[in-house]
Amino acid sequence: MIIRREKPEDVGTVHVVHEAAFGRDFESGLLKGLRGDGGWVPELSLVAEVDGRIVGHAVSTRGFVGERRDVVGLGPIGVLPGEQGGRVGTALMHASIAAADALGMAAVVLVGDPGFYGRFGFAPAAGFGVEAPEPNWGAYFQLRTLAAYAPGLAGRFVFAGPPAASAPPIERAGG
């Protein structure tokens, strides 16, 4: 498996990956909106290739907490159904965190299952003084500090993207 930056010719395939991974077009539509946003960071749009075929994609976009612009929101992350459970998502997570760290970001936030993302060093963002954009996200809104993190990052996180790009419903394990 190779993890690399997305190339312009990958865009169509990346959208297909997300639609297949989630069984809906919300994430693909979100990606289209993010690509045209000022928070888009090309270095943080990564694909996973197996035998020359794109099987996964992860993107992180610049968001902000108050005046701080050194925080990125990770997601969506999509892996083709036939490749799920085969470590592609794990490799994309590690590569995304490392890439954000290399760019000097202070933290990465995401919305997801704490039981899953805790193994990557994520913890509820509220414990760091960072509020979720939607209060009902609770512990599903998580943060991972990076090398450039310094205490004092506090306030409501604002994701990059067009105003209509609200997050999908929280999908809790077990329904």
Predicted confidence pLDDT, tens digits, the chain (175 residues): 999 999 999 999 999 999 999 999 999 888 988 988 888 999 999 999 999 999 999 999 999 998 888 999 999 999 999 999 889 999 999 999 999 999 999 999 999 999 999 999 999 999 999 999 999 999 999 999 999 999 889 999 998 765 434 444 444 333 3
Phi/psi for 99 (5° steps) reads: -65, -40
Name the pTM for this structure.
0.89
Domain range enclosing 45: 2-158
Structure tokens at 107: 């933290």
CA dihedral for 110, 113, 119, 121, sign (positive or negative): positive
Q: How many domains does the structure of the chain reveal?
A: 1
Q: Answer yes or no: is 171 within a domain.
A: no
Q: Answer yes or no: is 164 within a domain.
A: no
Torsion of CA 104, 101, 109, 90, to 10 degrees: 160
Q: Answer yes or no: is 19 within a domain.
A: yes
Q: Answer yes or no: is 169 within a domain.
A: no
Structure tokens at 93: 């997570």
Look up the CATH number of the domain holding residue 67: 3.40.630.30
